[in-house]
Structure 1
């Protein structure tokens, strides 16, 4: 059953919400055609030679992140759909708007979710390629994970707001990009967050994201309804706070925060959306009381709705170790809609209609004249490889979906098929192709653009990163050496931003196996023999994922005893490698 919500439409709710925010706060603007909110004085910031600050992510966590745009915090915020990372194209547009070639640069704050790491990473790489000065800080301060081994990583939670506040203050002081990144990373290493939920939330147009009994609560739940660490009967506020603090400081977990007598901290009690002010005041009082009972000095305390999960009735507690620099930055003036602190003032001026800034969209491209072209015969073969690979992925949709059902939401095949259909649509006829099959570097960038816009999610970002990185190697070298380097660079880029390593039960296992097979193929005499070796390696690697423990991606949150089949992403890699091999075989017959 769809949950009641007062919206105009599901598809337009994020745009309407941003418009409302900017309607109230006349110091903010929206970049036309995008879900991007910027400071009205952004040009003055750039002229002053100050570093700009960008953060973003899925909507549904309001006031984060658009509510923190303004003097003393963010320069720009990029919003995605509800609970979905924004597309790299919007992030890149925001980076271009707040950064210029000779500027002090932009610091990007990334919350540690796979989709955000991939999409923001892709935009950062493209911005760097254009000559923009950009660096990033990834925050994952979640203390809920109980495992001591490597996994998909700690989630970025309400501590992101404190990080934005500190980095924003440093930027206003005129600190360099390098200084801000160094201090920001120090902040993330000295912070922890833990949450508890009493009820689920519901995405607009849908029902509750999970279920909890009338008398149940869940400890350590994620912002999107990801499973927590424990379900218990609802307890009094003081017992709930004790459970949270005990887990956060449990030294037997790899995600705990170190806390001892005499430590000076800031604490933030964050309303996840559905808690009453009466409850929040009770909870924050208990948090401060129990920290002081541990002889911890609470020098700064914040309570309010800083990063929500729609209407979820729940809260999170963030603890941050203080030093004089961090405390100075927390106390610095910030003129933004959502930063709640007794030392801050707010501008109450409003206007009825937001002002939009028309922008000129810029398309990333590689000029064919700057890249190596290939003969028509080779271009025709490359066309056939792309065509057959996409057709095979489409025909494998159901099989890949079935594999995905045990570890995800069963849409891996559909996602890949959607991208494949979009590529076929733009490919055109062999006699007059629309895509630049005669220029491999340009083709790779075209494929990156298509999958990014058509597939969406982590898969779209992963393949877009792969093709974008591969294009660099193919710009000057389209020999076997160049293609090997393209595959190697594409794989390493996926690993860097996606966080997966060989053995983590992802598509990386198959790609890494292909790279290894190519490196040892020097003694083989023909491309067919080389590709046969590569296909055998990818198939073996994909099958081997069935017995691996998932350490990255969505499957890492699924119990290991439920994972019995090969990873669908790894299997998909074998599908398109086989298609490439078939084309080589056909040309030699």
Structure 2
């Protein structure tokens, strides 16, 4: 079914380097092209997109299909619909098409067409917990959450627990609501493939009851249920819930769905030969194309080391606070991802000199956070540092050069991340700070520190202002606005970083 799968941390997208290694492994084993099947989350789009661009530079024919099958939101935000369990159906169909020898262009066109007829909705009786952390949201006993995501995000509507028949009927009503922009359009006589997906903690008995309810409800509405699969296909740790995926089908789609596969967990596997060719080979040796690891100290090295050490210690101190803020708007791991980056930098500092060239330092840090931080934050920080590093070459470190560098980094985050000022993201702290720093271009010599302190204050004010902003991008955009009463964790992290920089520079 799949020739390769690349895993990230819990609820985080994998780093681009891992994705690129998988692509090059397949290419080296003889694949004529590589299709990346990506769920619609910012971190996944960024990291897989970056790896795809890097792979094309290596001469690999790469295409990417983004799955967005969530029917929860009647009016999706700028971030669009999330990718949920419909993704595994695309895995199956694309794999079968590849096994038939279809071209990459044909496979992309076909699965893109099929995606228009796939919809998914989840419901749960409990939240989940990232290992070592508190539950992702609070759900009183006797309540259930409709429209939740696979990363522990709360849903769009809460109600009292009902019977399986009532719950499934409400789910299908929501999915097929013609007034919703996320509507899955179904009509009498439509042939369907149905997937009932265990989100983690339902028993086989409960899954069987829900599956029966789904079949009866759809057939009573005049649909033809051609295929049914029930099991744990896309889980959310220990969440006690399930999602329902419906896919409009025709004879061609059913033929692809029924095609033999060697995937061990695929239902109704009849055994026999593997589908497609084997790519279980070692990755092809490759050059990372990253900065040379020849770092020379300079006059500014001790200062930059002190700043990095203070930033790292600050992020570690803020870990649980950022997690708590993120639990209200996402999956509760914002503090963890920033702590991962901080620990990786601390380890790096123990065995590396801090280069005298600021651009070289930022380039090295970009590679480090890309590899170690994970998620959309890792990709965004890496983009920021990569773009900024090009403006600090040749040892330039005056205030205007730093201002231009952070401005370039901010623009890269806006360009590739799809968010902007006012969207309730880290940019709401970063953009005002950058505006303040740009004043350094006209600041008299020696006035850079005053500009930096003012920028840190603007960042803190910007982060605090996110309390009253409606989320228009990122995972928080899937949460009802009335639940977002705390500051955005990404913005708070940016403010904390800038504050740490100021504190380190002010120390004697």
Q: Which bin holds the TM-score, normalised by the shorter protein?
A: 0.7 to 0.9
Which stretch of structure 1 is more off in the superposition, 408-417 or 290-299?
A: 408-417
1:173 paired with 2:100, answer yes
Distance in 2 separating the partners of 1:514 and 1:202:
34
Instruction: Say yes or no: does 1:330 pair with 2:330.
Output: no
Q: Distance in 1 between matches of 2:67 and 2:252?
A: 19
User: CA–CA distance in 2 between the matches of 1:210 and 1:582?
Assistant: 35
Query: What is residue 12 of structure 1 aligned with on the other side?
Result: none
Q: Does 1:248 align with 2:175?
A: yes
Instruction: Give the aligned partner of residue 345 of structure 1.
Output: 270
Rounded Cα–Cα distance in structure 2 between residues aligned with 1:569 and 1:380: 32
> Offset of 1:74 from its aligned partner?
0.7
Q: Does 1:197 align with 2:118?
A: no
- Show the counterpart of 2:381: 463
TM-score, normalised by the number of residues in structure 2: 0.77
Matched, 1:139 2:63: no
Is it true that 1:380 corresponds to 2:299 in the alignment? yes
Residues 389, 576 of structure 1: 8 Å contact kept = no
- 1:92-241 aligned at under 5 Å gives the runs 92-100=20-28, 104-146=32-74, 148-150=75-77, 152-198=79-125, 215-241=142-168
How far residue 578 of structure 1 moved from its aligned partner, in angstroms, is: 6.6
Partner SS state of residue 193, structure 1? strand
Deviation at 1:565, TM superposition (A): 5.7
Q: Over aligned residue pairs, what C-alpha RMSD do you find?
A: 4.6
Deviation, 1:492, is: 4.7
Cα 1:312–1:574 change in 2 (3 A) is closer
* Structure 2: runs of 5 or more not aligned: none
Q: Is the contact made by 2:29 and 2:281 (CA closer than 8 Å) also made in structure 1? A: no
Match for residue 423 of structure 1 among 345, 349, 356 = 345
Counterpart-to-counterpart distance in 1, 2:505 and 2:184 = 55
Q: Distance in 2 between matches of 1:136 and 1:547?
A: 36
Superposed CA offset, 1:531-560 (max 9, x none)? 558667655544533432233345446664
The answer to which of 206-215 and 281-290 deviates more is 206-215
Cα deviations by residue, 1:356-383 (Å, 9 ceiling, x for unpaired):
96667756243559x9x99x8xx53476
Aligned to 1:48: none
In the alignment, the residues of structure 2 paired with residue 182 and residue 284 of structure 1 have an alpha-carbon distance, to the nearest angstrom, of 31
Corresponding residue number in structure 1 for 2:230: 303
Q: Is the 8 A contact 1:448 1:464 kept in 2?
A: yes
Does the residue aligned with 1:192 lie in a helix, a strand or coil?
strand
Tell me how far 1:391 sits from its aligned partner.
1.6
CA deviations over 1:479-513 (Å, ceiling 9, x no partner): 99997776455435534664533211111233344
Residue 564 of structure 1 and its aligned partner are, at CA, apart by: 5.3
Superposition map of 1:512-551 within 5 A: 512-513=431-432, 528=447, 538=459, 541-551=462-472
The question of whether the paired residues in 1 share the 8 Å contact of 2:357 and 2:392 is answered with: no
Secondary structure of the equivalent of 1:76? Answer: coil
Name the counterpart of 1:27.
Answer: none
Aligned counterparts of 1:237 and 1:339: Cα–Cα separation in 2: 25
CA distance in 2, matches of 1:439, 1:199: 48
Query: How many Å separate the matches in 2 of 1:102 and 1:436?
Result: 41
Deviation at 1:514, TM superposition (A): 5.3
1:159 deviation in Å? 0.6
CA displacement 1:313-334 (0-9 Å, x = unmatched): 4332211233565444324332
Q: Taking CA–CA contacts closer than 8 Å with sequence separation of 6 or more, which of the two structures ends up with the larger relative contact order?
A: 2
2:366 aligned residue (424, 435, 448)? 448
Alignment deviations for residues 183-242 of structure 1 (CA, whole Å, 9 cap, x no partner)? 333333331111233456666778976676665543333334432334444433322221
In structure 1, the gaps of 5 or more residues are 1-72, 350-354
The TM-score with structure 1 as length reference comes to 0.68
- The question of whether the paired residues in 2 share the 8 Å contact of 1:272 and 1:310 is answered with yes
Change (3 A) 1:580 1:105: farther
Aligned to 1:366: 290
1:475: Cα distance to partner? 7.7
CA spacing shift, 1:562–1:331, aligned 2, 3 Å: closer
For the Cα contact (< 8 Å) 1:391–1:420, is it kept in 2? no
Matched residue, 1:501: 420
Corresponding residue to 1:569 among 487, 490, 493:
490
CA contact under 8 A between 1:385 and 1:583: conserved in structure 2? no
Do the aligned partners of residues 284 and 559 (structure 1) sit closer, same or farther apart at CA in structure 2, a change above 3 Å counting? Answer: closer
Deviation string 1:124-158 (CA, Å, 9 cap, x unpaired) is 44434544433322222121235x25165433221
Distance 1:121 1:290, change over 3 A: same
